[in-house]
Structure 1
Amino acid sequence: MAALDLTERLALLARVADTVEEHVTELARLENLEMGKPVPLAEQFIAGGIAGWRQGLERAGTYPFAADVTVPGESGRTVVEQRPLRVVGLIIPWNFTITSILGSLLPLLAAGNTVVLKPSEKSPLSAARFVELLDLPPGVVNLVHGDARAGRPLAAHEDVALPHFTGSVEAGRSVGAAAAQRLQRSVLELGGNAPVIVDADVDVAATAQAVAFSSFVNSGQICTSSERIYVHRAVAQEFIAALVDAAGAYALNADRDGTGLGPLVDETQRSLVHAHVAEAVELGATVLCGGVVPDGPGFGYPATVLTGVTADMRLMREETFGPVAPVVVVDSFDEAIELANDTGFGLAATVYTHDPVHQQRAGDIRAALVWINAWQQGGVNATYEPWGLSGVGATGADASFDAAPRPVSVLLAATD
């Protein structure tokens, strides 16, 4: 891609969006086959990824890949050129394969890099089909299948200038260490244990529906899923009842409109989710709905609501990655903020409040993404970098383009 000028690169990349758009349903069905996501939900997220790709194309057209930064009175001329890193190792997760590819790939290719793409061994089908659909020069996007035995050498390879990884904390540490050993940077988006704060002044029914969606959609297998819910005592009883009612709408194996629960990706994931719930019950939590491994084939797990949870439970300390909504009753907004920050993670948080002071204070939560009165709300210029265990490296808007090249300054001395 580096041999092409920017206009040529963007023309090729524009065709990618058009091609993928023609195959949304096919790719969604492959995601359904490989990890169980309801087809309508997969279609919705892939369509969102295509829209983001097109927004990225517009941004790439104005991004300063070469900028004259000479200031008046300066002797000579200084140009900052954003040069390709050459080879990027792109390792993506299984929960949103195509959306993850679309969200990461465009800045890397627009900058002139080539990419070695490694999807999760749990979701190889949709990634393979995506690469088949690409109409790009040979060698621009390369596909490697496998588990960590493929991911580790990719991240450690001397020709890979940037490992770009989304996945678990444990695997992310390995990728980051491999890059650091070669004195290379890395982009790591890792796990989350996202808090939700429900203030005393909310519309309880509407907020319960919103929290249910953010906890249960895609069976809770989203890094920004709501995993810790802190609700003000003034509305707690009503909210908990409404949340349980809302959970009932998420029937197992429903594929009507994408709101139903598909299975968890595999038995290992379901065992982890149920272990978190079982330990919480053993330590005193109460299950209000769900919490039982269903009979029959597959890896389904019901929408589960718990109360009586405490901060020392694994459910509240680790990423559960399942359709589980643990609720903690708090006496003040200050207490909710303090508990929200009682974590090693810092990827996302949501606050439901109409109090302007509390809305301002939502920024006190240590998270890369803080949503107020909506979950997963957009913003084409949003830029974020995770805290703590949730990763390293800023992404979004221009930050995604900043990570893709290496800036080089060319300084031309003045001559008589």
Structure 2
Amino acid sequence: MTTALRRLRNYIDGEFRDAADGRTTEVVNPATGEAYATAPLSGAADVDAAMAAAEAAFPAWRDLVPAERQKVLLKIADRFEERAEELIAAESENCGKPIALVRSEEIPPMVDQIRFFAGAARMLEGRSAGEYMDGFTSIIRREPVGVCAQVAPWNYPMMMAVWKFAPALAAGNTVVIKPSDTTPASTVLIADIIGSVLDELGHSRGVFNVICGDRETGRLMVEHKVPAMASITGSVRAGMQVAESASKDLKRVHLELGGKAPVVVFEDTDIAKAVEDISVAGYFNAGQDCTAATRVLVQDSIHDEFVAALAKAASETKTGAVDDEDVLYGPLNNANQLKQVKGFIERLPAHAKIEAGGEQVGDKGYFFAPTVVSGLKQDDEIVQQEVFGPVITVQSFSDEKQAVEWANGVEYALASSVWTKDHARAMRMSKTLDFGCVWINTHIPLVAEMPHGGFKKSGYGKDLSAYGFDDYTRIKHVMTSLDG
């Protein structure tokens, strides 16, 4: 006897709809490796319908005073809290994430981030009005850009959806968002929450739309004539494709594309504390985090002691079932990702040494053991390329100059951390490390008030903070004559 699969649907102009041509794709729970739902495989007709709904809803949403948009966002945040257990269940099934960790580590920051952007809606700052030419007054207007086409990733599908829709809606834009084809469930539930709030408060439900689909669906969204902006969190390849597609009609583009965060550990650090924090920051969410602490550079004088302690921490770190409160992380997101992580291990050079882990765990799902690899060189593939799995690499450096050179010697530039008791050294490193974030004696904490975003092949644009809010606005100069 087979269990019927749950049917997920697009959310367009306030209605849940199947794809216009009826096509679907199966959605797999990565903890079991089994399908639990179907989702639309949306095509051009679905994209057209969603964009038309967002375009029609834009003028009224744009023209609301900011306080009214704030009310909507605050109500959405309240509803997230009220329906938290539904969101937790959807995200756990989406990703195989431990239920307790979704409850403690994702719901509270998401609610806080929505409330932050609700406040930002009322802080549309610009330079003061003034006379910069005799007889004329200049005014700066900050306006929404229009319809935003947004593509969210599979590592944090629920939270990344918040990072995208909250600043966009707060600034007065309307949204068409596409979740990853492997993780649509929580975004569809978010559509139900937001749609009900918009309806209760008397606003068009076309303000927020969700379409499910694959890369082709995303391409159709980005190339569509309606959106004024395309935002994506994903791989470098995907970001380049979006930038190229958007260039055809000069859409604004917002890209967050991954990282290879260096974790620079100097000999004066507290090794036990550093290992404890770094192992959590490296293995949390199965290392499927653009800022994960997975590339460790350790000063040679403490290298052996540090590696031994890190390998011990890895052996004590647990992955497993969603209802096990002792696990730190769940499975990799999909079969292709498991294959990718295995491939990095299989292709390790002869000089590399696996200190812990290095293998798949269990006979179902996509679980991979917490892994430590030492003996690596700067030009090794696993040092240069993003693994996006629970694999921490370790290199040994001799001095600060070499540490900076190796830390910066990758194509990514999203996040980094420095571990030292020397304040002056920490300040020098924070200046010379070429990354969008530098943590000192910690790694991975984020707050709504501070920006998240990188340089180089990690993309451009900021999430969170007033800077992230600004990215969803445009600047207009208005000049008036004083002669009447």
- TM range, normalised to the smaller chain? over 0.9
1:26 is matched with: 86
Which residue, 81, 86, 89 being the options, matches 2:149?
89
Structure 1 residues 260, 379: closer, same or farther in 2, change over 3 A? closer
Q: Secondary structure at the match of 1:89?
A: strand
Tell me if 1:360 matches 2:427. Answer: yes
Cα RMSD, aligned residues only: 1.8
Structure 1 residues 294, 381: closer, same or farther in 2, change over 3 A? closer
Tell me by how many angstroms 1:322 deviates.
0.2
Counterpart Cα distance in 2 of 1:149 and 1:392: 23
1:288 is matched with: 355
Range 105-114 or range 153-162, more displaced: 105-114
Matches within 5 A, 1:194-213: 194-213=261-280
Counterpart Cα distance in 2 of 1:307 and 1:184: 44
1:235 is matched with: 302
Counterpart Cα distance in 2 of 1:269 and 1:10: 39
Which residue, 390, 395, 398 being the options, matches 1:328?
395
TM-score with structure 2 length normalisation?
A: 0.82
Counterpart Cα distance in 2 of 1:343 and 1:103: 26
Which residue, 89, 103, 116 being the options, matches 2:163?
103
Q: Secondary structure at the match of 1:334?
A: helix
Identity %: 30
TM-score with structure 1 length normalisation?
A: 0.95
Which residue, 380, 393, 417 being the options, matches 1:313?
380
Which residue, 245, 249, 270 being the options, matches 2:338?
270
Matches within 5 A, 1:174-193: 174-193=241-260
Q: 2:281·2:293 contact (CA, 8 Å) conserved in 1?
A: yes
1:49 is matched with: 110
What 5-or-longer segments of structure 2 have no aligned partner? 1-60, 199-203
Q: 2:275·2:310 contact (CA, 8 Å) conserved in 1?
A: yes
Which residue, 15, 18, 32 being the options, matches 2:75?
15
Counterpart Cα distance in 2 of 1:4 and 1:259: 46
Q: Secondary structure at the match of 2:180?
A: coil
Tell me if 1:156 matches 2:223. Answer: yes
Q: 1:389 is matched by which residue type in structure 2?
A: K
What 5-or-longer segments of structure 1 have no aligned partner? none
Q: Secondary structure at the match of 2:336?
A: helix
Counterpart Cα distance in 1 of 2:462 and 2:91: 28
Tell me by how many angstroms 1:21 deviates.
1.2
Tell me if 1:4 matches 2:77. Answer: no
Counterpart Cα distance in 2 of 1:354 and 1:342: 24
Counterpart Cα distance in 1 of 2:327 and 2:408: 30
Structure 1 residues 378, 148: closer, same or farther in 2, change over 3 A? closer
Counterpart Cα distance in 1 of 2:127 and 2:83: 38
Counterpart Cα distance in 1 of 2:328 and 2:474: 44
Counterpart Cα distance in 1 of 2:68 and 2:327: 41
Counterpart Cα distance in 2 of 1:74 and 1:60: 34
Tell me if 1:138 matches 2:205. Answer: yes
1:400 is matched with: 468
Aligned residues: 414
Q: 2:341 is matched by which residue type in structure 1?
A: V
Range 205-214 or range 401-410, more displaced: 401-410
Tell me by how many angstroms 1:400 deviates.
1.5
Structure 1 residues 18, 258: closer, same or farther in 2, change over 3 A? farther
1:43-81 deviation digits (Å, cap 9, x = unpaired): 2222112112212222322232x7652148853322211
